[in-house]
Amino acid sequence: MPEAITLNDGVQIPQLGLGVWQVDDAEATGVVLTAFEAGYRHVDSAQGYANEAGVGRAIAQSGLPRNEIFLTTKLTNQFHKRDDARRATEESLEKLGLDYIDLYLIHWPAVIAHGESYLEAWEVMNKAKAEGLVRSIGVSNFNPDHLDRLLSVSDTVPSVNQVECHPTFAQADLAGELRRRGIALEAWSPLGQAQDLQDPAVAAVARDLGRTSAQVIIRWHLQKGHIVIPKSVTPSRIAENIDVFSFELNDDQLEAVDRLDAGNRIGPDPATATF
């Protein structure tokens, strides 16, 4: 079973969750129910994924107690301004069919498209947390300069920064910076959108352990202390990706994966993203 880690605000998050980017609303219900059956209790959605309603239906249909599920969603870039952010928060709650969101993230700083309006979003998120609509608030795709700016106007240190992170794009400098600030690193595209699964060094470790390449990479994230949210719509892979709590990588195996870091960014660079 996934273990929980404690965020800087005392909230506990299961370290492994299911990502649902590019899973459409109708499909999301079945995928999330499959994940719950496999033992997942943490789902990573976003307003921009247009599947909050489908995820919410799975939560309702699962029969699981609400406090056993950890649900993350993210505020869309166009809604950073005060009134928009508030409305978007209420809409997320309604679509999800929930009274509260466990973790609410600013999806992107989006400075080129929307200036510093992410600072307004942060204000709204703090208020939502104070009102009990959200348990924990954090950011996504923030570089250290975005964090510095946020913390120049707010005393609330984000609990999480969800960033692209996988063996060939390991983000070692940012990880150190986040550790220093007490912000948990949550790894998006943790498998490198399946590209890193092809790496021969990962395959060699998998062979040694009698495991799959995906399990090796997920285990690498867990042992580095990352929160990790692999996405799959395939029932066998959903089960495979959570079957990672009965083995470990040894130091040599961890180092073999560490050596793959090659600056291989797949997604947009937060410093230059124009959306």
Ligand X SMILES: NC(=O)c1ccc[n+]([C@@H]2O[C@H](COP(=O)([O-])OP(=O)(O)OC[C@H]3O[C@@H](n4cnc5c(N)ncnc54)[C@H](OP(=O)(O)O)[C@@H]3O)[C@@H](O)[C@H]2O)c1
User: What amino acid positions are annotated as catalytic residues?
Assistant: 49
174 beta partners: none
Query: Phi and psi at residue 56, in whole multiples of 5°?
Result: -60, -40
Give the whole-angstrom CA distance, residue 47 versus residue 37.
Answer: 25
* Position 92 contacts ligand X (CB under 6 A): no
- Residue closer to ligand X by CB (options 11, 109) is 109
Helix H or strand E segment including 19: strand 18-19
* Position 214 contacts ligand X (CB under 6 A): yes
Is the Cβ–Cβ distance between 102 and 11 less than 8 Å? Answer: yes
Give the whole-angstrom CA distance, residue 188 versus residue 50.
Answer: 18
Residue 45-84 contact track with ligand X, rule CB under 6 A, x = bound: ----------------------------------------
Stretch touching ligand X by CB under 6 A, among 76-84, 148-156, 187-195, 254-262? 187-195
Give me 225's structure tokens: 């202390």
Give the whole-angstrom CA distance, residue 106 versus residue 74.
Answer: 6
Residue showing the smallest CB distance to ligand X in the complex: 19
Is the Cβ–Cβ distance between 98 and 69 less than 8 Å? Answer: no
Q: How many of the other CB atoms lie within 10 Å of CB of 46?
A: 21
Task: Considering only residues 14 through 43, tell me which ones interact with ligand X, judged by CB under 6 A.
Answer: 19-21
* Position 193 contacts ligand X (CB under 6 A): yes
- Residue closer to ligand X by CB (options 54, 65) is 54
- Single residue of 169, 188, 216, 220 touching ligand X by CB under 6 A: 188
* Position 234 contacts ligand X (CB under 6 A): yes
What does the binding site for ligand X look like in residue numbers (CB under 6 A)?
19-21, 44, 107, 140-141, 162, 188-194, 197, 212, 214, 229-234, 237, 240-241, 267
